[in-house]
Amino acid sequence: MSTVVIRDVDSGNIDDLCQLCITEKNRGDPFFIRGMEEKRKWAMDMLSRWGPFAKLAYVGPSAAGLIQYEPLPSEKVVYIHCIYVPEKQYWRMGIAKKLLSSLVEAMRKPQRWFHNESALALTVKTFPGEQPGQYPARLFFTKMGFKQIGGDPDFLYLPLEKGFIYKPKVEKQVEYVPQEEDKGKVLIIYGPSSCPFSYVFLKKAEHAIEVLAPGVPIRWMNRAEEPDEVWRRGNAEGCIVNARHIKSFILNGEAFQKEVMDALRGVS
């Protein structure tokens, strides 16, 4: 059986992290290529700010899985952005378990982000998206000992200190601030992202809107290049249609279409 080796992500293997999310068949797709570019910007910033922020599982010379995370110093917990083993040939090898176990072991040690104390817990917000035959994320984390936070079955935590109960701080939700110039058009706000699929999904949303409303003006706004414009809009991201922030996810087709059409009502 092939040996699985876990390594921290650094400047020497950061490209492995960015390319791993994209399967071989999609690596020539310009949308996925752009998505990888946006992820690389995010990854370089994370490395600069936090140092280690991800781990890769290698099988031989090939990166086979990843776990990405971010410290939340004000709560002394570590948020897991995602854990992912994309290729079927590496499933059922215990790679995800090894990645998570490696992170747990590391976070039980003193961390400079927490004034040389260990993390109190790991947290994660799971979401559907597994491939047929792939282990669902929520089931994986609960089997690994994660507990539900409040009433949200997808918001989970794993205490690292005995008896610790995680009570997340209530943060103000990002709310789009309507702008007069956004009326009668579509604005797509994007930028560096932990997931290359974020850009791909926005391109799918753009296509869906073009089908629903041919000829409607569409403007793309890069938060890294136009930060003041993004902040003027409340630091929102995603699709803004006729000065309304679309909350439905593009993969939730009917809900997305209905919300877009409701927003476009009255636009000539």
Which domains can be identified in the chain, with CATH numbers?
Answer: 4-159 (3.40.630.30), 180-264 (3.40.30)
Helix axes 253-264, 197-212, angle to 10 degrees: 50
pLDDT at 169 over 60: yes
pLDDT at 129 over 70: no
pLDDT at 240 over 60: yes
pLDDT of residue 152: 86
Provide the pLDDT confidence category of residue 242 given band limits of 50, 70 and 90. very high
pLDDT of residue 212: 93
Helix axes 197-212, 30-50, angle to 10 degrees: 140
Provide the pLDDT confidence category of residue 41 given band limits of 50, 70 and 90. very high
pLDDT of residue 211: 95
pLDDT at 114 over 70: yes
Q: Which two tokens stand for residue 68?
A: 């990405």
Provide the pLDDT confidence category of residue 157 given band limits of 50, 70 and 90. very high
How many residues are there in the chain? 268
**Interacting residues of 155 by C-beta distance below 8 A, sequence separation 6+:** 123, 124, 125, 148, 149, 168
Global pTM?
0.87
CA trace torsion 238, 204, 16, 114 (10° rounding): 20
Average pLDDT over residues 254-258: 93
